[in-house]
Every structure is written in structure tokens, then in C-alpha cells.
């Protein structure tokens, strides 16, 4: 149910202002296990926001909430100006209709499919886009390999390529650079440092990565935003 104490986020531009609605517009709260996430967050199209904070702060839950794997208890969530969760069952838009790309911390590659089929899994992935991403992330030589035969760094790049191949409006990256060598990290950062990129939430423990890539850094602690700075 909607909580009247939480103002619904305004996703329509104010009168006199122009431009597209925010890519992400969240004002709501949810409880998962011991964690209560209570967040207000707006991310503009093309903006890259780093999400930092200690373990258990709710960073991963925030990404899962936007991906549609966790539902709001109160409040609402807009993606690209469209409400995808208003804390009611009819107002909940399922993950496959949200146009988000999610790279979870543990990658979750489809181990029964080769690398190329993983990257091209999304119905929105075009062959050209898949070929481009395989080349950009130095995965072309691994296209027929099973994920089990990839190194940790290679698997991480496959996960990033798979999410980006789905042409998402919002990209959700959960520690994408963990366990990567310098070259793999550089390739992922190069892809993210692109004007055409979707709005991106990047969960990271690396202050250097946050400072180097992000337009803004949002700090979470115990499920709440405690810092929001460029």
C-alpha cells in the first residue's frame, strides 16, 4: 500500500522546464530480512551514480528493487517516467518489462549456454550489438566457451556484456570490477565512460573507481541515503 507520508516522486518535468523525465525516480521503502531500505533517489538519463557504503547498507537491495526482484512496501518507483512499482500488486511491473540490465555480484552466468549465447540471451540483443560487445570486452575468442571454462575476470566481463547487450534504459552494476585485472577493468570503464551509456547505478567499494567514473556519489548506511555529492 502507498504510505501517505511519502510524497510520490514527480517524474513529469516541472512547468517551464524541458527535457526527459529522470531515468530512475525512487521514493519509497521496503524491508528485506533485517534490512529496511528507505530511499529517495533520482538518476538522470546518461548519469552514472556510484553507490557506496558499508556491508549491509542496502546497496544490493537497492539494485534488486530497481530490477524488480524486490517490491516496495510503500512509495513508488518510476523508470523513464513510467511507474513500475507503486507498492500495490497491480502497479508492480515485472522485471522483463522494465528494460534494466543487472550485473549481480556473483555474475550468475547461464552455465548451460556458451559465452556468445549468454551475451545474446536478451530478446533485445541484436547480433551487431553482441558482436560489438564481445569485441570491446575482448571476449570474441571465448564466444564458444562455457562459463565454467572462463576465468573469474572473463566471467565478469561476460556478465557486463550480457547486461549491456540488452540495450537497457538503466544499468545496475554490483561490484563489476571485483577480481578484475587492470586490463579488464580498463575495458569495462571505457564502455561506461561513454556518452551514449544508459543511466547507471554502480555499487562499488573502490573510492578510486567511484571518483573516476561517477557523476555523483551516493552513500548508503543502514538502508538510507546519508550522502549525495558530485
- The interface mask with other proteins, positions 62-91, x = CB under 8 A, is -----xxx----------------------
CB of 84 to other proteins, least distance (A): 12
Does 185 sit near other proteins (CB under 8 A)?
Answer: no
Does 163 sit near other proteins (CB under 8 A)?
Answer: yes
Rounded Cα distance, 112 and 99, in Å: 24
CB 73 within 8 Å of CB 27: no
Q: Which of 44, 74, 95, 131 binds other proteins (CB under 8 A)?
A: 95
Does 99 sit near other proteins (CB under 8 A)?
Answer: yes
Rounded Cα distance, 219 and 122, in Å: 31
Distances (CA, A) of 150 to 60, 109, 154, 168: 25, 11, 6, 25
- The interface mask with other proteins, positions 122-151, x = CB under 8 A, is xxxx--------------------------
What cell numbers appear for 173 in the block? Answer: 552494476
Rounded Cα distance, 142 and 150, in Å: 8
Rounded Cα distance, 199 and 80, in Å: 10
Q: Which of 111, 149, 181, 194 binds other proteins (CB under 8 A)?
A: 111
- The interface mask with other proteins, positions 192-221, x = CB under 8 A, is ------------------------------
76-94 burial, b if ≥16 CB within 10 A, otherwise e?
bbbbbeebbbbbeeeeebe
Binding residues (CB under 8 A) for other proteins: these are 67-69, 94-96, 98-102, 104, 108, 110-112, 121-125, 162-163, 166
Amino acid at each position: 500500500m502507498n504510505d501517505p507520508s511519502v510524497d510520490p516522486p514527480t517524474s513529469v518535468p516541472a512547468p517551464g522546464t524541458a527535457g526527459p523525465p529522470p531515468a530512475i525516480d525512487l521514493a519509497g521503502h521496503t524491508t528485506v530480512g533485517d534490512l529496511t531500505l528507505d530511499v529517495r533517489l533520482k538518476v538522470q538519463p546518461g548519469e552514472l551514480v556510484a553507490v557506496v557504503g558499508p556491508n549491509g547498507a542496502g546497496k544490493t537491495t537497492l539494485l534488486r528493487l530497481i530490477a524488480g526482484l524486490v517490491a516496495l512496501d510503500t512509495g513508488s518507483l518510476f523508470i523513464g517516467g513510467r511507474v513500475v512499482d507503486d507498492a500495490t500488486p497491480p502497479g508492480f511491473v515485472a522485471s522483463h518489462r522494465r528494460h534494466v540490465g543487472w550485473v549481480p555480484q556473483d555474475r550468475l552466468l547461464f552455465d548451460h549456454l556458451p559465452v556468445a549465447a549468454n551475451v545474446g540471451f536478451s530478446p533485445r540483443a541484436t547480433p551487431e550489438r553482441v558482436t560489438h560487445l564481445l569485441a570491446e570486452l575482448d571476449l570474441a575468442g571465448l564466444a564458444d566457451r562455457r562459463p565454467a571454462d572462463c576465468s573469474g575476470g572473463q566471467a565478469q566481463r561476460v556478465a557486463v556484456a550480457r547486461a549491456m547487450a540488452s540495450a537497457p534504459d538503466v544499468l545496475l552494476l554490483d561490484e563489476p570490477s571485483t577480481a578484475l585485472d587492470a586490463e579488464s577493468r580498463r575495458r569495462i570503464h571505457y564502455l561506461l565512460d561513454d556518452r551514449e551509456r544508459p543511466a547507471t547505478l554502480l555499487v562499488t567499494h573502490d573510492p578510486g573507481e567511484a571518483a573516476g567514473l561517477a557523476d555523483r556519489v551516493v552513500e548508503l548506511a543502514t538502508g538510507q541515503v546519508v550522502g549525495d555529492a558530485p
